Chain A
Amino acid sequence: MVNILYAVLVLGVMGAAFAALLGFASKIFYVETDPREEAVMECLAGANCGGCGFPGCSGYAAAVVRGEAPTDKCVASGPEAAAKIAEIMGVAGGGGEKMIAFIPCSGSAEAAELKFDYTGPKTCQAAMGYGGKGTKVCSYSCIGYGDCVQACKFDAMHIVDGVAKVDREKCVGCMACAEACPKSIPVKVPYSMNELVACRSNDKGPAVMKACKVGCIGCMKCAKECPADAIQIKDFLAHIDPDKCIRCGHCETVCPRHIIHSQD
């Protein structure tokens, strides 16, 4: 009986002592945090993808509350979250169109010529170091060992037939893939845009012809035919201005190399 009493007493005293200690410590080591920070955190996707350029979601939330970051930087959580954050911060939110990643390369195993047989480590970073810029003849091409697949936190990136492919529905446009890609191949494009040039080679036409069966040769046909004057040829490569493009899809039909198409 006495033992039980002692046990209760000793543990009770210990518990009280530690509670007092922690109570004091929490006063001494009190760190002031803005309650809005937590509210902003609630709105974010929580994937810590780093697409906003801040160290993780909490870093971005802190920056927003300090007023150092715009409220619509989190592409992963979408425009609704941006609006919610703007409401918390009491500023007007700038909702934009949903942007996703796109791989401007079609150099699949069938289309692109190989420079040599590569047996080194199966990562793009490593393959970059051998004989220069990957295993394919075209030095602009996607290497296809999937460093971007590793980097994607949303399972939106896959290697299909030796070229990275973006899953339009899963991609949130955080561009972690572009960070991981040794050639920074992935680019940001509007979700609604279906006229995309799936090539990034700045080589002249004949060189592209030799390296790849589908690459853009800069023949100017699309630029001439575009009704909205949205296409320009720069460095032997077609560039479509997403703001001018009226999404008519005419370029898709006239391209002799069939290199302009939607992502799927």
Chain B
Amino acid sequence: MEMLQSLLSISLGAILINNFIFSQFLGCCPFLGVSQKVDSAIGMGLAVTFVMGLASALSYVVNLVLIHFGLDQYLQTLAFILIIASLVQLVEMFLKKSIPSLYSALGIYLPLITTNCAVLGVVLLNVQNNHNFIQSVCYGITGGLGFMLAIVLFASVRERLQFAEYPKSFEGFPIALVSAGLLALAFMGFTGMKIW
């Protein structure tokens, strides 16, 4: 029961209260880059969720090995980056063979997940918060879902923005950043909420 409670609070925290993009400001690059269309935003969100979940699971195991050898202080980041990079490569190969349509839809953004700081953020935060295996995986997946929520919301806003009237000097990225700021502000409303 306690486990379930902690999982629920981790999930809600990762999706809403400590949303990776809106309150931790991690992974802003794909958030701005892949948010032109809702379709590609959903694809990107799914890919990130998948990589985050797998990376959390693998990095938990690797972290145990590192702790065993007393290396966890300074090798963590390096080892985690290695894991994430290999995972993304694996996912890319798998998608290319099995789901070519999704592979071509994601295009360049799939390999770019490697350098997405939200993924590294998830695995490092797992270590910092002393999550156990199940909690780690849960945090990884829900963190990805939170990312997806943010990017899909933002993509919908940007699609509407195309028909909006605003001063010419705001055209393009400025207006996107302004609306991203307003969205983040809305998510600030969740700050301080506590579950159990």
- Residues on A lying within 8 angstroms of B by beta carbon are 3, 6-7, 10-11, 14-15, 18, 21-22, 25-26, 28-31, 55, 58, 121-123, 126
Contact A29 B97 (CB under 8 A): yes
Contact A14 B62 (CB under 8 A): yes
Distance to closest chain A CB from B158 (angstroms): 14
- Residues on B lying within 8 angstroms of A by beta carbon are 62, 65-66, 69-71, 74-75, 78-79, 82-83, 86, 89-90, 93-94, 96-98, 100, 104, 162-165
Contact A11 B163 (CB under 8 A): no
Contact A126 B70 (CB under 8 A): no
Contacts A3-B71, A10-B69, A22-B90 hold; do A31 and B82 have CB atoms under 8 A apart?
A: no
> Which residues from A are CB-within-8-Å of B71?
3, 6-7, 10
Contact A26 B79 (CB under 8 A): no
Contact among B66, B79, B93 for A29, CB-based, below 8 A? B93
8 interchain pairs, CB-CB under 8 A: A6-B69, A11-B78, A18-B82, A18-B86, A28-B97, A29-B93, A55-B104, A126-B163
Which 7 interchain pairs have the tightest Cβ spacing?
A29-B97, A18-B86, A29-B93, A121-B163, A6-B69, A25-B93, A31-B96
Contact among A3, A14, A58 for B82, CB-based, below 8 A? A14
> Which residues from A are CB-within-8-Å of B65?
10
Contact A122 B94 (CB under 8 A): no
Contacts A29-B96, A121-B165 hold; do A10 and B66 have CB atoms under 8 A apart?
A: yes
Complex CA distance for A123 and B165, rounded to whole angstroms: 11
Contact among B75, B82, B93 for A15, CB-based, below 8 A? B82
Distance to closest chain A CB from B173 (angstroms): 16
Distance to closest chain B CB from A26 (angstroms): 6
Residue of B nearest to A59 (CB): B104
> Which residues from B are CB-within-8-Å of A25?
89-90, 93-94
Complex CA distance for A201 and B83, rounded to whole angstroms: 64
Distance to closest chain A CB from B134 (angstroms): 23
Contact A10 B165 (CB under 8 A): no
Complex CA distance for A65 and B88, rounded to whole angstroms: 29
Contact B163 A22 (CB under 8 A): no
Complex CA distance for A46 and B104, rounded to whole angstroms: 15
Distance to closest chain B CB from A235 (angstroms): 35
